[in-house]
Amino acid sequence: MNPIPYRALVVEDDRSWRQILAEILSDHDFQVDTADSLEDAIRHLKSTPHRLAVVDLSLSQKGHSNKDGLQVLQAARLIDPNCKNILLTGFATVELAVAALTEYNAFTFLRKESFNRGQFRDIINKVLASAPNQSLNLNLPAEGAQTSAGSLLPERNRSSSDDKALVVEDDAGWRSILEELLVDMGFQVKVCVSFGEALGYLRREKFSLAIVDMSLNGSISNYWSQNTTSQNLEGYQLLTMTRASGVVTIVVSGVASPEDIQKAYSEQSIFAYIEKQAFDRNGFRQIVQESRSFKHEESELSTLTEREREVFNLVAQGLTNKDIAEKLVITTNTVKRHLKAIFEKLNVHTRSAAASKAAGEKG
């Protein structure tokens, strides 16, 4: 099922700008409403919730002194508080920018004279990656509707010491949403906001599931940096720790390139990647349910020690005992001892059988 499209509101008295902004927003699958005056904007805000509003400062071509756009921001703050607002103007001052961001709660501030489509698209993606309105686009079942066998309700009382989840997310809105869903599914949940805090939890406690955001710095500048890659995202680095601990890991993130996502699957063996921009509750629940089955099937692998897991992964890559010894800086006799323990724990007798287990894990 495709998620319900978000709605966006463009408040702009210039027809050309309305068309440009509506076109870009439509490309991001928004349903777009347009308004050319304060009154029209308020009517739209009252009629339906919006995920995003792009508001021109001056809604009158008669003079630069008109600042009806600020009144639109104030109205949106009161009428539709979950709507993210972008102020767009050709009459920018530093004082005005500060006021828009601090007093009127604008998400960001853009100048028409330096408007860049690529930057605007980046801002839209950042808005979509911010915590969504819990009442919108989350595909909640209708009240009284029947649920399937794998739905939320049968899981509410299924809490046990084995069902512990770690949520690593620096956005408070997303932490709340993910924690609520996991608790409803019977998990005991620990939430944290940083790499160091998450690492401490992983060393102190045993988790069956981890939900990790790739970016844990929360900085817009880092979010948009051209140099941002998987290697300098703290969340990506944390995936190495969850993999070594044998924790089934789901990435929920809004900042990653296709190359980063591929690396997360191939190098860190994540279970699933969910884009924040397309997040919906039912899809998340289904993936978590599947991860539970996966965890049950992979219980044998969880018995391996960290060093045995390293040897196991290298065997799966086709390395010889000598190659493994050189890579891990140990002797070949030590490699053989690890292999004997691995074969016993996995109930296999050959390297190829062990490699098949690894293939099943990645599949």
* CATH number where 205 lies: 3.40.50.2300
Average pLDDT over residues 47-60: 91
From 259, 280, 298, the end of a domain falls on 298
CA 314 to chain centre: 30
Same domain, 293 and 311: no
With CA atoms as reference, report the closest residue to 268 among 238, 234, 301. 238
Same domain, 279 and 308: no
pLDDT greater than 50 at residue 320: yes
Within-domain flag for 141 = no
Same domain, 292 and 179: yes
From 252, 270, 298, the end of a domain falls on 298
pTM: 0.53
* CATH number where 322 lies: 1.10.10.10
Nearest-angstrom CA–CA distance, 290 and 169: 22
Nearest-angstrom CA–CA distance, 32 and 21: 9
Q: Number of structural domains, the chain?
A: 3
Within-domain flag for 136 = no
What pLDDT is stored for residue 298 in this prediction?
54
Neighbours of 343 (CB within 10 A): 15
Same domain, 358 and 324: yes
Cβ–Cβ < 8 Å for 158, 186:
yes
Same domain, 348 and 255: no
Same domain, 165 and 286: yes
Within-domain flag for 207 = yes
Same domain, 208 and 294: yes
Within-domain flag for 308 = yes
With CA atoms as reference, report the closest residue to 257 among 115, 84, 122, 128. 122
Average pLDDT over residues 80-89: 89
Domain that holds residue 318: 303-362
Same domain, 83 and 160: no
Q: Mean pLDDT over all residues of the chain? A: 80
Which residues are within 8 A (CB) of 273 and not within 5 positions of it... i.e. 6 or more apart?
A: 250, 251, 253, 256, 261, 264, 265
From 94, 114, 129, the end of a domain falls on 129
Same domain, 357 and 290: no
Same domain, 30 and 73: yes
Same domain, 165 and 198: yes
Same domain, 107 and 89: yes
Maximum mean pLDDT: which of 3-12, 132-141, 325-334, 340-349: 325-334
Tens-place pLDDT, residues 210-241? 999 987 764 333 433 444 455 557 788 889 88
Within-domain flag for 142 = no
Tens-place pLDDT, residues 121-141? 988 988 888 766 544 443 433
Within-domain flag for 338 = yes
